[in-house]
A = this chain, B = another copy of it.
Amino acid sequence: MTAVPRAVCLLSGGLDSTTCLALARRDGFACYALSFDYGQRHRIELEAAASVAKALGAAGHQVVHIDLRTFGQSALTSDIPVPKGRPDAEMAAEIPVTYVPARNTIFLSFALAWAEVLGAADIFTGVNALDYSGYPDCRPEYIEAFERMANLATKAGVTGQTRLRIRTPLIELTKADIVRLAVELRLDLSLTHSCYDPDPAGRPCGQCDSCLLRKKGFAEAGVADPLAR
């Protein structure tokens, strides 16, 4: 009997990370979902992550508490208003105020630590370089550089027992492609959560970058979003 390979899967509970986790499971991995409580303004994201991890049969789910507010200066972790109604061209051209410094680097570093403990050679992240809202740490050249560093950082990499891989199955897809893929995988997208600025009941605002990208994706895929009001 061959042991089932393990993978650490970054999971925010959004459309992208949910689809990414489902792909890892489809590819035969025992998935260990990893979420972060990093002082984001809404906890509904963590509830969505927990529901998704359960629904997709994750072998484990950890929430790591870190305080990125210490370093401040993002609309996702402070009182800076989340921008609403930004046109596509503006999203593509600028790094927005919702950018959290070094966030993906910190998230992937914790994933690396867990992967090493689990003996997992694969880390999945749903980063996306096309409809990516202008974050520098979502680009393929960044991911490749992280992977290279990771293989020098760890016991597993040094002894050559394991070659760590940062897997980004969504990196070249449009949001519409991701929606189509999620439908193909029969995912329950009502469990997911994408909004940067939900109302007190947890409903999406419909106007932040993340809501606009999601809306465009569903529209282009010709699929109804179960979260749409």
Contact = CB atoms under 8 A, between A and B. Distances in A.
Interface of A: 62, 64-68, 70-73, 95, 99-106, 109-110, 112-114, 116-117, 136-137, 139, 141-142, 145-146, 148-150, 152-155, 157-159
Contacts of A146: 149, 153
Copies of this chain present in the complex amount to 2
A153 B105 contact: yes
Contact of A67 (B64, B95, B139, B159): B64
A125 to B, nearest CB: 13
Given A101-B117, A102-B109, A117-B101, A149 B152 contact: no
14 contacts: A62-B70, A71-B117, A73-B117, A95-B155, A101-B154, A102-B153, A106-B106, A106-B113, A109-B109, A136-B157, A145-B145, A145-B152, A145-B153, A148-B149
Contacts of A106: 106, 109-110, 113
Contacts of A136: 152-155, 157-158
Nearest to A111: B102
A108 to B, nearest CB: 8
A65 to B, nearest CB: 7
A148 B100 CA distance: 20
Contacts of A159: 95
A154 B99 CA distance: 10
A150 B117 contact: no
B71 A114 contact: yes
Contact of A102 (B142, B154, B158): B154
A109 B114 contact: no
Contact of A145 (B113, B141, B149): B149
Q: Which of A68, A100, A152 has the most CB of B within 10 A?
A: A152
Q: Which of A66, A105, A139 has the most CB of B within 10 A?
A: A105
